[in-house]
Amino acid sequence: MNKIVLNATAAGLLLAAGLCHAAGALSFSSEETIDSSPTTVWKYVGDFNGIDLWHPQVRSSTLKGASNKAGAVRTLKLADGSELVEKLLKYSAADTSYTYTSLKTPFPIKNYVATISLSPAADGKTLMKWSTTFDAVNIDEDIATEIVAIALTGGLGKVVSNFQKPGAAQDTGAAPAP
């Protein structure tokens, strides 16, 4: 009897492990304040299959499965011709966030899990945060992190520029010219 319970418990743990995606040992996060309300920004970035509309390196996105439902899989064609395949793990329009994992990537990383989330900021603006965990594969961890950082900050930069008010200068941190 105890052997049956032990085997059932072990099988349950193995099944649970197979359904979960392990978080990577490395992480990167970037956030930007966007000149529009979370509701408006969510209409732009909230569609799991719509990243080709706002990320400068994504040329097309095709979806298998129910749009914005956990389990949906998108295939992204990148500007350089390579392909990414990603699976939606969690989606919440109410919380303006979604989490996904990479199933296939041309980059030297694995165990990639990312979350895009929006929250209200001062003056009716939006704080958009994109965070991820991952592992480097046959590459220095700093280089893997830089690859991920370029991808995330490139996407965030495009969203910021899309909502930038006419005549508003983007803060670069540099002193203004005399």
| Tokens of residue 131, six digits | 């965070």
What's the confidence (pLDDT) of residue 18?
36
Nearest Cα neighbor of 44 from 158, 144, 142 is 158
What's the confidence (pLDDT) of residue 166?
76
> What does the angle CA 137 – CA 45 – CA 105 come to, to the nearest 5 degrees?
20
d(CA 156, CA 97): 15
What's the confidence (pLDDT) of residue 167?
64
What's the confidence (pLDDT) of residue 22?
56
What's the confidence (pLDDT) of residue 168?
58
**What's the Cα-to-Cα distance from 44 to each of 2, 11, 162, rounded to whole Å?**
55, 42, 10
Q: Chunked in runs of 10, what are the mean pLDDT values of the chain (178 residues)?
A: 38 36 84 97 97 97 94 98 98 98 97 98 97 97 97 97 76 41
**Domains detected in the chain:** 22-163 (3.30.530.20)
pLDDT tens figures, 166-178: 765 554 444 333 3
pLDDT tens figures, 39-48: 999 999 999 9
